[in-house]
Homo-oligomer: A and B are copies of this chain.
Amino acid sequence: MQLAEHLAEFTRRDWQTVSDPAERIRFALIGLGWFTEGRVIPAIAESDFCEVSTVVSGSSKKANRVGNEAGAEYRLTYDEFHAGEANERYDAVYIATPNATHLDFAESAVDFGKAILCEKPMEATTARAEKVVKACENAGATLMVGYRMHTNPAVRRMRELVREGFVGDPALVEGTMCQNVFETISPDPNQWRLDADLAGGSALIDLGIYPLNTARFVLDTDPVSAQGTTNSPHEHFSEVDQHVAFEVEFENGVTSACVASQYAAQRSQFTVVGTEGRLSLEPAFFGESQLTADFSVEPVDEVAEEFDYFADCLLSGRDPEPDGHHALVDMRTIEAIYESAERGNRVSVRM
């Protein structure tokens, strides 16, 4: 295993097949939210093969402002886009509108014979996502979904290492994708990400999809079954999942356990544990995939701590804390987990 080889030329574009193209791909950017403005436009400005010719927004004012920023000659409203205005001026569309509107934009783009780069999730529901695929296939249109992890060099190098056996047989995947949407995206409690109809869900469909999809990509496998638990304690999440924990079983026998949150502290990590080793990305999903340290603490002999604590209780005549009743709850929980694993049901923990 040549670890050094993988980490040297870390950012190599092993997917690249062209150089110095005569013409760049001209994009129409549809939906000028924070990601398009803050991440996509600067990225295209630095890119080798792309340029922005057109911006499309629900608001003319926003289209003009962002169009100026991006140096995009053509600024369209959504209606103008659907009507086909200036459609000879772009080769491809990037769809970054609310999830439930991706299909409509994709259908128009297909009608205009354009290639499509559609943000994830592909749509708000599977049924509508299926229509996106069908529309593109019927017309022979190119469709890519914006899983930016696939072209993230950290993820690609991780995938190569897994393929070459660096971790032995992959066994388990852990993944985390948590953000505070009100800090990271927008403080607006009425933003579409919190609207069930427009978004189709929140923590899972918007964020949990990162570790889910990255596991599929890194392990070259697809899911067989899934279990999940959602939880929405905050008032702004009355329609959608604020937190989610889920488990996915993959075709190759690997199981993943992931958590995601739309309103929690920012944290992302992605780890593959195999029989021989493990690989982690941390942070994983926020654009600068790294392995990081926070702080170090002084280790002690924890068994000495345990024993002396117990002895201290005895010597002072008080009861130690992790007692039998405490431990029984673990036993009952373990029993419930085993029963769940066998029956495939969520199982209540007996008290």
Task: Encode contact with B along A121-160: 1 for CB under 8 Å, 0 otherwise.
Answer: 1110110011011001100001111111111111001000
> For the side of the interface on A, what is the size category?
35 or more
B25 near A129 (CB under 8 angstroms)?
Answer: no
Q: Determine, out of A56-64, A77-85, A258-266, the stretch whose residues face the partner at the interface.
A: A258-266
A50 to B314, CA, bound (A): 11
Quick check: is A91 within 8 A (CB to CB) of the other chain? yes
B273 near A257 (CB under 8 angstroms)?
Answer: no
B225 near A300 (CB under 8 angstroms)?
Answer: no
Query: Which residue of B224, B256, B303 contacts A148 across the interface (Cβ within 8 Å)?
Result: B303
Q: Determine, out of A65-73, A185-193, A331-339, the stretch whose residues face the partner at the interface.
A: A331-339
Closest beta carbon of chain B to A187's beta carbon, Å: 14
A132 to B172, CA, bound (A): 34
Quick check: is A17 within 8 A (CB to CB) of the other chain? yes
Known interface pairs A275-B265, A338-B204. Does A329 touch B223 (Cβ–Cβ under 8 Å)? yes
- What residues of chain B lie closer than 8 Å to A238, measured between beta carbons? none
Q: Name the CB-closest residue of B to A285.
A: B302
- What residues of chain B lie closer than 8 Å to A322, measured between beta carbons? 144-145, 147, 150, 213, 217
A43 near B274 (CB under 8 angstroms)?
Answer: no
- What residues of chain B lie closer than 8 Å to A231, measured between beta carbons? 171, 249, 253, 255
Knowing that A228-B338, A245-B257 touch, tell me 20 more A-B residue pairs with CB under 8 angstroms. Answer: A13-B308, A15-B312, A18-B315, A25-B310, A43-B301, A121-B334, A137-B324, A148-B306, A152-B305, A153-B305, A172-B245, A178-B278, A226-B336, A227-B227, A227-B340, A229-B341, A246-B341, A290-B296, A291-B295, A345-B346
